[in-house]
Amino acid sequence: MDLLKKLFYEKSSQARAELKEIVKNYGELKADEVNIGQIIGGSRGIKTMIWDTSSLDANEGIRFRGYNIPQLRELLPKPDGAREPLPEGLFWLMLVGEIPTEDQVKWLSAEWGRRAVVDDSVFKVIDALSADTHPMSQFTIAVMAMQKESIFAKKYDEGFNKDEYWDAMYEDTMNLIARLPIVASYIFRRAYRDGAPASYDPSKDWSANYAAMLGFDNVDFTDLMRLYLTIHADHEGGNASAHTVRLVGSTLSDAYLSFGAGMNALAGPLHGLANQEVIKWIFELIEKIGTGQPTKEQLRAYILETLESGQVVPGYGHAVLRQPDPRFMAQKSFAETYCQGDPTVQIVWDLFELVPEILGNLGKVKNPWPNVDAHSGALLCHYGFTQYNYYTVLFGVSRALGVLAQLCWDRALGLALERPKSVTTPWIKSLIEQNK
């Protein structure tokens, strides 16, 4: 048993015992109340699950095991000469709750490199799709094609003790995360490059491999990838993709089936697809205004025109956050170091100055501040990565870290099949009448 697996087993065994005791002694303690607005409004804010890998505060933003993004950028191990942390370190933190050492992160990078082998049949499945099929559709299909390698599925078919579920989920998680950059980069290369799969270099870290396989060898871009894959890794359990992974996983579906389902949720315009919608909107703005360096007055007019047409300004507003997204601020910090003078980045910064003010004056938006999607596209474009239809795949590769770490915990804790109670519209109307 490797060190990470051993640590996870020790911590999860203790947590499972504690959870059983909590349910036994406090199972009837009321944790929340539900109103009709929440029932109709997408269960917004209702406390219904444990999600220990990260938590989201409306004013502070995301914390991973108690650490905020500035702390993680400082504390997580970095490669020699790099400014941004390795996502491997964040995965370690989410899985066992400890900041890893440099040696532990190096081990994890090497371990993922050892596991980064994709069967040729997966590439054949991708090749059966038209090259112009949306990259997210190709991505989820590729994940499904890898499912035949699931250790959990094989052991479940053979019959094994439920106390061993966590072990098989850990192995599936490690394999799937290791292999995602290979299939994700192949989807990019067949659509936008030479179409040949790239080889994984075990001497490089996970992010550096992904960047290289995409065809980018700029060291600053590689650092951007480390930052991007870290800050997008998790956003507590209530977002659509994370909750989908949890829901499907609660049926004892394996990591591949669960993650694939979550990626279909991520592909929605109100979720992960928003990152491509932001840069698309900026490109349309540039085309309509007729310059890549618009004035603030021109930007203000375009923002108002967008809102008056009944559309939203993509990248602004968040279901939970009531302050600028710390993930946006981390990207802005990166851009201030590496992207000064880039006209598209400048547009993003000007929008940051203008949009919250305009939305705030309307009085209809609880959160007029930018979310993570408002900046990421401009950073990628700075390095020549302009194929925005692919951006959500980057998001998906990153999000695997958080949702799969939590899925390991779900198995280790023996969490139950999700089965919330639904109600009918007549039931709601009856409740209203009873309370008049």
User: Which residues form the catalytic set?
Assistant: 271, 318, 373
Helix (H, G, I), strand (E, B) or coil at 41: coil
Q: How many CA atoms lie within 13 A of 244 on its CB side?
A: 19
Helix then strand then coil, % of the chain, to nearest 5: 65, 5, 35
- For the CA atoms of 340, 343, 347, 349, what is the dihedral angle to 10 degrees? 0
Contacts of 237 (CB under 8 A, 6+ apart): 49, 50, 51, 243, 246, 406
SS3 334: helix
Interatomic CA distance for residues 230 and 240, integer angstroms: 19
Number of H helices and E strands in the chain, helices first, is: 20, 3
Amino acid at 127: D
Please give the span between the terminal C-alpha atoms of the chain, in angstroms, as a whole number.
62
Q: Count CB atoms within 10 A of the CB of residue 290.
A: 8
Question: Cα torsion for 103, 105, 107, 113, to the nearest 10°?
Answer: -150
Angstrom CA distances, 274 to 136, 192, 268, stand at 13, 21, 8
d(CA 86, CA 222): 11
